[in-house]
Amino acid sequence: MKLKNYAQGKWIEGTDSGTPLFNAITGEEVGTASSKGLDFGAMLDYGRRTGGVALRKMTFHERGRMLKALALHLTSKKEDFYKVSWATGATRGDSWVDIEGGIGNLFAYAGLRRQFPDETFCLEGDVAKLSKGGTFIGHHICVPKEGVAIHINAFNFPVWGMLEKIAVNLLAGMPAVVKPATITSFLTEAVFREMIASKILPEGAVQLILGSANGILDHVMNQDVVTFTGSASTGKMLKSHPRILEEAVPFNLEADSLNCCILGGDAVLGTPEFDIFIKEVHREMTTKAGQKCTAVRRIIVPENLVEDVQIALGKRLGSTVVGDPNVEGVRMGSLAGMTQLKEVKERVMQLKKSQEIVFGDIDNVEAKGADKNKGAFISPILFLNKDPFKNQDVHNIEAFGPVSTLMPYKTIDEAIELSKLGKGSLVSSIVTADNRIAKQYVIGAAAYHGRILVLNNDCVKESTGHGSPMPMLTHGGPGRAGGGEEMGGKRGVFHYLQRTAIQGSPTTITAISNQYQNGGKYIEKDVHPFKKYFEELEIGETLITAKHTVTEADITNFANVSGDNFYAHMDVTSLEGTIFTGRVAHGYFVLSKAAGLFVDAKKGPVLLNYGLDECRFTKPVYPGMTIGVKFTAKEKVALEKKNAEDIAKGIVKWLVDVYDETGETVAIATILTMVKKRDQN
C-alpha cells in the first residue's frame, strides 16, 4: 500500500517506489511512503495564500470552536487509530497517551479561546502611557503571521506530535505543513485522513508530507515558523540552514534529553514516596518502550538507598512482560522498528564501557505472542554507575529505549549538580515528602530543566507523571533540550503571532483594537445602555451618571450591612499615624454606590452581573465628598449557544470610573454583564 501525501488540496502519491514501512511487532511491510514529486515551494505558497487567508478571517473564538469540532470528530474515530497504532509497537496504554493525549490538546486549545477576544487579533499586556496629558499612548497588538508553520516531528508520537503543535498554530490563525517521521507515518496519515474527511478545517489549513522533506527549508520566508522535534544534532543542522538565517525565520527546537528523576533523602524504604518513586521510574522506562523525549534516563538516589532502589526496581522490571501488545498480560511492546533497535543497542554498548548492567540483557528477550527475531523487541536495561562525577558517558549518551542508569548522591547539592551534568533537559522530577528538600532542588536546578515535577503522596493520585507534558504548560528545555518552547497555553499561541507596538491617541487605539482605552472619547447616547441588546452596544458608549454626596450615615449603614468595622471606617480616634485624615468610606461602598448610580432597575436585555475583573481604590473618599460615575462599554465578547434552547447572549466589559467633585478618579473597576442578543438564532 502506497501512503499518500496531502498537498495543495489533493491526495498525492510519491512518484518513486518509496521507503518501505514495517509492522514493529511482526516485521511485515505495511506500506511505503514517498514525497518524490512534491513541489515544496508550491505547497508553502498554497498554505500562505489559501489556508492562511481563510484562517486569518476567523476570530479566535471561531478558530477555537473549529478545534473543538475536530477533537470531537477524531474522538469518534479513535478506535480505528488504536488498531493502526498497534503496528508501531505500542500497547493500549502507550497509544492512549499518543492518540487521546493528542486529541486532548485540541480540546485544551479549543477551551483557551475564551482567554482571547472574539476578534481576529488580540492585544497583549497593559497600555503604556507615553505622555503627561494622556493624549498619546502605546499598546501591543498581536496578529497572525502570514506564513506557514512547518512541523518536523519525531517517530515516537505520530499523533500527539502532530496534534499538540497544530492545535496551537490553528488557534493563532496560521496554517501548517506536517512532516512526521517516516517510520511511523502510516499512523499519522490515518489520523490526517480523518481530519481532511471531516471538512472541518478550511482548505489549505493543513498539508502532509510523508517521506523526505529535504529541500523544504529552501522555500521558507520570514513570516513562516519552523518547529523540529528529534535529535539535537539534526535540529542544530536544520536551525543553521542559510535560508532560516537569511529570513530570520523563528525555529523552535525540542530535542531528546537526558532527563532525571531524584529520590529525596527522606523517601526511604517503607515510605509511600519510595514506592511512588519505583513505580514512576518503572513507568518512564517501559511506557512506549522508553521511546519518549521525556523518559527518565538518569535515576539519582541517596547513596544509602542505591541497593534498595536497585532491588525494588529490578523486581518490577522483572515482572514486565514484553511482547505483542494485543496479547493479554503484555505490558511493554517493541521499539518502533529495526533501525531504532540497532541504534539503541549501539548506545547501550557505548554506555557499557563506563558502567555496568544490573538488569536486562541486550541480546536476549522473551517476546510473548511474537517472534522476537522479526519484531523490534528489547529487554529493559538498568545500568549502575557508582561514580557518576567521574564516569560521565551517562550524562552525554542517550539510548532512546527502555534504558536508564542508577547513580548515587551524597547531598541534595550533589543531586542538583548531577542533574545539571545533562547540560539541559526537558524535564526533571523529584520524589520527596519534605518541602524543604523540594524547594532546595527546584531553586537550585530549575535553570537547567524545562519542567520540574515534585511528586509525593499528596498529589500522586492526580499527577499526570514525570513524562507527560501538559497543554497549558510550556514543553521544552534549555541547552541540550534545544532551548525551545511548545504549547504553554496562551504563551504558545503568541509564537505564531506577530507582536507589534502601536502608538496613537486613546480614541484611535480604541478604534483599532475594539477595546476602550482610558482617556478615549466618550460616545453618549439618549438611551440607557442597559436597555440595549448586545449587538446594539458600541465600544466607547458611555453613561455619565447622576452624583451622590457621601455622608457619615452612609459609612455607618454600610458597616452594619457588610459587617466591615475596620477602624479606618469606624474609629476616628485610631487614625493617628495613618494616611487618613478622618473616617473614610469603604472602598466597596464606593463601588456599590457606583452601581446604584449606573444601574437601570427595569427589566431589559441585561441578564445578570457576571463578575468583576479589576478594581482599584485610588483616593480616599470622606464624608462630604461628591462622587459620580463614567460608565463605558470597554469590550464585547460573544458567547456561543450551548444548545438550541439556550439564550443567545454575550459578555460586555464595562469600565467603571468613579470620580469626585474635583474630577479626580477615586475608584476604577472593570465589571462584566451578561447581555441578551436581539437575534436569538
Please check whether residues 8 and 141 belong to one and the same domain: yes
What integer pLDDT is reported at residue 230 of this predicted model? 86
What integer pLDDT is reported at residue 514 of this predicted model? 92
Q: What is the pLDDT of residues 614-639, one digit of tens each?
A: 899 999 999 999 999 999 999 998 88
Please check whether residues 183 and 273 belong to one and the same domain: no
Within a domain: residue 624?
Answer: yes
Residue 681's alpha-carbon distances to 62, 487, 641, 643, 644, in angstroms, are 17, 35, 9, 11, 9
Q: What is the pLDDT of residues 426-462, one digit of tens each?
A: 999 999 999 999 999 999 999 999 999 999 999 999 8
**Angle at Cα 170 formed by Cα 73 and Cα 427, nearest 5°?**
95
Please check whether residues 286 and 189 belong to one and the same domain: no
What integer pLDDT is reported at residue 185 of this predicted model? 92
Within a domain: residue 495?
Answer: no
Q: What is the pLDDT of residues 285-317, one digit of tens each?
A: 999 999 999 999 999 999 999 999 999 999 999
Given a cut of 90, whether residue 265 has pLDDT beyond it is yes
Please check whether residues 333 and 243 belong to one and the same domain: no
Mean pLDDT over 326-354 rounds to 93
Any idea what the CATH number is for the domain that residue 332 is in?
3.40.309.10
What integer pLDDT is reported at residue 255 of this predicted model? 86
Mean pLDDT over 136-162 rounds to 94
Please check whether residues 532 and 467 belong to one and the same domain: no
Any idea what the CATH number is for the domain that residue 25 is in?
3.40.605.10
Q: Which of 255, 275, 304 is the last residue of a domain?
A: 255
Q: Residue with C-alpha cell 543553521?
A: 240
Please check whether residues 269 and 392 belong to one and the same domain: yes
How confident is residue 156, by pLDDT bands cut at 50, 70 and 90? confident
How confident is residue 236, by pLDDT bands cut at 50, 70 and 90? confident
What integer pLDDT is reported at residue 169 of this predicted model? 97
Given a cut of 80, whether residue 681 has pLDDT beyond it is no
Given a cut of 90, whether residue 643 has pLDDT beyond it is no
What integer pLDDT is reported at residue 601 of this predicted model? 85
Please check whether residues 451 and 600 belong to one and the same domain: no
Given a cut of 80, whether residue 25 has pLDDT beyond it is yes
What integer pLDDT is reported at residue 170 of this predicted model? 98
Please check whether residues 279 and 232 belong to one and the same domain: no
Q: Which of 255, 290, 310 is the last residue of a domain?
A: 255
Within a domain: residue 491?
Answer: no
287: domain range? Answer: 259-481
Any idea what the CATH number is for the domain that residue 632 is in?
3.10.129.10
CB atoms inside a 10 Å sphere around CB 548: 17
Query: What is the per-residue DSSP string for 550-617?
Result: --HHHHHHHHHHH----HHHH-GGG-TTSS-SS----HHHHHHHHHHHH---S-SSEEEEEEEEEEEE
Please check whether residues 272 and 412 belong to one and the same domain: yes
Model confidence, pTM: 0.89
Q: What is the pLDDT of residues 535-556, one digit of tens each?
A: 999 999 999 999 999 999 999 9
Q: For the chain, how long is the longest CA-to-CA vector? A: 93
Residue 324's alpha-carbon distances to 91, 92, 332, 348, 372, in angstroms, are 8, 11, 8, 23, 10
Within a domain: residue 490?
Answer: no
SS3 assignment for 346-371: HHHHHHHCCCEEEECCCCCCCCECCC
Q: What is the pLDDT of residues 461-500, one digit of tens each?
A: 989 999 888 899 999 999 989 888 999 899 999 999 999 9
Give catalytic residues, as residue numbers.
254, 293
Please check whether residues 584 and 539 belong to one and the same domain: yes
Please check whether residues 159 and 279 belong to one and the same domain: no
Q: Which of 209, 239, 255 is the last residue of a domain?
A: 255
Within a domain: residue 506?
Answer: no
Mean pLDDT over 662-671 rounds to 95
Mean pLDDT over 121-131 rounds to 93
Within a domain: residue 95?
Answer: yes
Within a domain: residue 476?
Answer: yes
Please tell me which of 42-56, 323-337, 642-656 the model is most confident about, judged by mean pLDDT: 42-56
C-alpha cell belonging to residue 580 = 487618613
Within a domain: residue 498?
Answer: no
* Total structural domains within the chain: 3
Please check whether residues 238 and 370 belong to one and the same domain: no
